[in-house]
Structure 1
Amino acid sequence: MARRGGVARTPASGRDGVTQPIAFYYGAGELDRLTRFDKVVLQADFYSRQELGLLRERGVQTLGYLSLTEDVGPRAPWQRAERNPDWGGAFVHVGDPRWVAHVVDQATRAMATGFRGLFLDTLNIEHNYPEDLPHLLILIAAIQEEARPAYLLANRGFGLLPEIAGLVDGILFESFSARWVDAGRYEPWPDDVLEAHAEVAERLLGLDVDLYALDYADSDELRDFAQRRAREFGMLCFVSDRVLSTI
């Protein structure tokens, strides 16, 4: 797989010899299907130690989901009044020591359960809460130091570039080529957004991290478009539905 303007990356191989480097699955079970992938991102509370051990024995690196700037739990002192309009979680004061301790505890417990790494989500706060970006870098460093994951994958986090590249092993570009629209269907981004995303992707190619894309599609045509475009920018791509219920 050629990196645009860079050195070729060699994708990993799945258990059956087919290149299936990563999956994102927010359901439960499906262990046999998950063994087709080298890395799988899972909800940390949905899998037991025994299930994670089985996946590890089959050569699968499991990454537990972790939200760093939104809290879906009960009302807590670190929460802001504003909520994510799409998913309902409360935005937080990232630098609040109680939130830091809460997230680090979640990360540590996920690793103790048997996850091999962590998937860091909700990092794109540069437009709403730019004052929290330095706190977010400190939080990621605390997770790395305290939980000691074998692999850290960051979702976007472009407002943290280039510093975040020194703290994580991989960066995911979610919704790189396609999007879910209100009518309940999926479609490519408009040309101007695709170009803006391409500019960010070019910047990512200069970093010493693994690159992945996560896209959404409900047709073979859109799926092929997303996968083809990800390859152009050296990204290993996974395509699913909006709630990541298919693998």
Structure 2
Amino acid sequence: MKPICFYYGDGRLDRLAAYDKVVLQADFYGAEQLAVLKSHGVHTLGYLSLSEDVGPPAPWQRPERNPDWGGAFVHVGDPGWVGHVVDQAKAAIATGFTGLFLDTLNLEQTYPEDLPHLLALIAAIREEARPDYLLANRGFGLLPRMAELVDGVLFESFSARWVDEHTYAPWPDDVLEVHATVAERLLEYDLDLYALDYADTAELTEYAYRRANEYGMLCFVSDRILSRT
């Protein structure tokens, strides 16, 4: 089986069955579909945002929004937000997801005061939803404590990135050097390591796979909206 797939569409069970782990939008798959994937030995991870809310206005939301995707940033420690996220996690597991993918963990530059709350939220998800597997997207500012709470770490956009809706490119050398330093640090932890890169050519795709392998990461390459399987 191929190691991992990130797919934010729906359906395509036959294609997804070829992977060991698949990260999916939790609302797009029901119990019957998840059971089919499980019968093929696939570990399904439901998407969960921990610091951004795409829902209607709520008291935990900050005025600022993600400029790329439009979600509202939140006060992570707000009890209402904590309960909302934990309920989402429990619902995903109850539906049949075997684990969860924890996104929007990079707060060290924007809201560093929320990092302790973010760690507490991850711990609450682990304790109350009881997933078999937790995969964190980046969250490097939460280390080393986060390494005790999750099973794997994804380095999104490790080598290649989307520049806009139609353009993909490798990172400049100075950014690649910073990413390499972080990747070497990740090797110190007992965690599964993955890379998710963005490319639209065979050459850039091969570059991403090759570089991820050099740093002990299993890689998946997709487009900006994660529509490939």
| TM bucket, shorter chain | over 0.9
For 2:82 and 2:127, the matched residues in 1 are separated by 13
Write the distance in 1 (CA, Å) between the matches of 2:125 and 2:165.
38
CA displacement 1:154-188 (0-9 Å, x = unmatched): 00000101110000000000000001113721000
**Which string of whole-angstrom CA distances, capped at 9 and with x for unpartnered residues, describes residues 65-118 of structure 1?**
000000000000000000000000000000001100000000000000000000
Q: Please show how residues 165-244 of structure 1 align to structure 2 within 5 Å.
A: 165-182=147-164, 184-244=166-226
TM-score, normalising length: structure 2: 0.99
CA distance in 1, matches of 2:226, 2:108: 25
Are positions 1:75 and 2:57 aligned together? yes
Q: Say whether residues 1:53 and 2:43 are aligned partners.
A: no
CA distance in 1, matches of 2:127, 2:215: 31
Is the 2:199–2:222 contact (alpha carbons within 8 Å) kept by the matching residues of 1?
A: yes
Q: Structure 1: which 4+ aligned runs deviate by more than 6 Å?
A: none
What is the identity percentage for the equivalent residue pairs of Structure 1 and Structure 2? 75
Select the structure that is richer in strand: 2
Q: Which residue of 2 aligns with 1:127?
A: 109
Q: Is the 8 A contact 2:53 2:73 kept in 1?
A: yes
Output aligned runs, 1:6-25, within 5 Å: 14=1, 20-25=2-7
Q: Kindly indicate whether residue 151 of structure 2 is the aligned counterpart of residue 145 of structure 1.
A: no
Structure 2: which 5+ runs fail to align?
none
TM-score computed with the length of structure 1 as normaliser:
0.92
The reply on whether 1:34 has 2:16 as its aligned counterpart is yes
Kindly report the root-mean-square deviation, in angstroms, between the aligned alpha carbons of the 2 structures.
0.6
- 1:164 counterpart SS class: helix
Question: What amino acid maps onto 1:240 in structure 2?
Answer: S
1:97 is aligned to 79
Quick one: distance in 2 between partners of 1:163 and 1:237?
24
Count of residue correspondences: 229
**Secondary structure at the counterpart of residue 38 of structure 1:** strand
CA distance, structure 1, for counterparts of residue 197 and residue 218 of structure 2: 11
Query: C-alpha separation between the residues in 2 aligned to 1:64 and 1:180?
Result: 23
Segments of 5+ residues of structure 1 without an aligned counterpart are 1-13, 15-19
Give the Cα separation in 2 of the matches to 1:181 and 1:148: 37
Give the Cα–Cα distance (whole angstroms) in 2 for the partners of residues 36 and 220 of structure 1: 21
Contact residue 134 and residue 150 of structure 2 kept, 8 A: yes
Cα–Cα, structure 1 residues 193 and 49, in superposed 2: closer, same or farther, change >3 Å?
same
Partner of residue 118 from structure 2, selected from 122, 127, 136:
136
Supply the distance in 1 between the matched residues of 2:194 and 2:163 (Cα, whole angstroms). Answer: 22
